Amino acid sequence: MNTNARTARLVLRARRALACYAVLLVPLALLAVFVYLPVVWAFSKSLFEFEIGGESTFIGLSNYIEFLAADPTTYVGLVNMLIFTGAAVAIRLTVPLIVAKLIVSLQGERWRHVYRVVFLLPVVVSGVAVLLIWSGLIYSQNGLLNEFLRVCGMERWCRTWLGDPSTAMAAVIFIGFPWVGGFEVLIYYAGLSAIPDSVNEAAALEGCTGLRKFLLIDVPMVISQLKLMLVLTIIAGIQGFQNLLIITRGGPGYATFVPGLQMYYNAFSYQRFGYACAIGVILFLLIFGLTVINMKYFKSSEELQAAA
């Protein structure tokens, strides 16, 4: 009797577990084939030299050595990547936060809502369209920027901003100026509006207002949002090349060339898929290392509060 009951319970549990796995079957299978298999391939194929449909030869770590020591474009790309990433971090950690602070300081929920919607509005325009708008409407020979300079009598400053090696990189960084249309404002706004009233009131009582309040109280209170943004921006900076592919293709010359483009060209222009996989793996390791460092050494605001 007792054994029967136990068997029945076991059968029931087994059936329930089977039902759970039946639900999970499709998601797990999709992950196995379309995520884990490519990851394994990225590592394994980076050890080969091959073209699609051609012979593949095992060449050990030669692809990695070529990227790190022989390829003349590697160094240029890495330096550009650092500059782009540094600029993106400096921009995305400051300007949207300031705008969010301005919005939070407004009285009346209606106005706060209006401005949040206004600064969210640009996300409805496809990212590709935004890039093409900047390269076609603003930076081109007869674009708004040059027109504006002509109106101001500064004709000698006119140029094709993305086509001139000395300005291409700055022009790319300035795309989206003043860099406040998007989700960042909302994310910071969420953090700032979550600061408890007691904290704000205490600060006001202590006479801590304005810039001092912003730096000493608001910024530490949104550290977890800043940290999230820092991580996302760095990851995007290391692997991002889609925008550059659309507007400059890395040029003129190598002025806006980055390792992501190097990977793209090696794969889809030169058919060097093994080498491209190796570049992908190296960029992954870079991202992975930085993420680990970030998780280990930067504390979130919850942890800061717990420590205080």
Contact between 41 and other proteins by CB under 8 A: the answer reads: yes
Cβ distance to other proteins smaller for residue 7 or 291: 291
Contact between 208 and other proteins by CB under 8 A: the answer reads: no
Beta-bridge partners for 49: 57
Q: Of these, 57, 94, 291, 305, which contacts other proteins (CB under 8 A)?
A: 291
Beta-bridge partners for 267: none
Peptide bond into 178 cis (omega under 30): yes
Give the CB-side neighbour count of residue 38, counting CA atoms within 13 A. 7
Cβ distance to other proteins smaller for residue 105 or 166: 105
Segment 151 to 180, residues that bind other proteins, using CB under 8 A? 177-178, 180
Contact between 244 and other proteins by CB under 8 A: the answer reads: no
What value does the CA radius of gyration of the chain take, rounded to a whole number of Å? 26
Q: Residues 75, 281, 285, 238: is their CA dihedral positive or negative?
A: positive
Q: Which stretch binds other proteins (CB under 8 A): 84-92, 105-113, 156-164, 165-173?
A: 105-113
Task: Give the whole-angstrom CA distance, residue 168 versus residue 64.
Answer: 30
> Which value, to the nearest 10 degrees, does the dihedral of the CA atoms of residues 150, 153, 159, 162 take?
-70
Helices 109-120 and 95-105, packing angle to 10 deg: 150
Minimal distance, residue 202 CB to other proteins, in Å: 19
Instruction: Confirm if 96 and 186 have CB atoms less than 8 A apart.
Output: no
Q: Of these, 39, 65, 154, 215, which contacts other proteins (CB under 8 A)?
A: 39
Contact between 35 and other proteins by CB under 8 A: the answer reads: yes
Sequence-separated (6 or more) residues with CB below 8 Å from residue 184: 92, 96, 97, 229
Q: Which one, of 284, 234, 293, 256, lies nearest residue 42 by Cα?
A: 284
The mark string for 57-86 relative to other proteins (x by CB under 8 A, - otherwise) is ------------------------------
Minimal distance, residue 1 CB to other proteins, in Å: 26
Say which residue the tokens 């990225």 belong to: 42
Minimal distance, residue 93 CB to other proteins, in Å: 13
Q: Which stretch binds other proteins (CB under 8 A): 57-65, 85-93, 153-161, 190-198?
A: 190-198
Q: Of these, 10, 12, 90, 190, which contacts other proteins (CB under 8 A)?
A: 190
Element (H, E) at 225: helix 223-239
Cβ distance to other proteins smaller for residue 139 or 254: 139
Reduced to 3 states (helix: H, G, I; strand: E, B; else coil), residue 155 is helix
Minimal distance, residue 196 CB to other proteins, in Å: 13
Q: Which stretch binds other proteins (CB under 8 A): 59-67, 153-161, 195-203, 240-248?
A: 240-248
Contact between 205 and other proteins by CB under 8 A: the answer reads: no
Contact between 253 and other proteins by CB under 8 A: the answer reads: no
Q: Of these, 83, 158, 186, 208, which contacts other proteins (CB under 8 A)?
A: 186
Segment 109 to 148, residues that bind other proteins, using CB under 8 A? 111, 113, 115-129, 132-134, 136-138, 142-144, 147
Give the CB-side neighbour count of residue 164, counting CA atoms within 13 A. 12
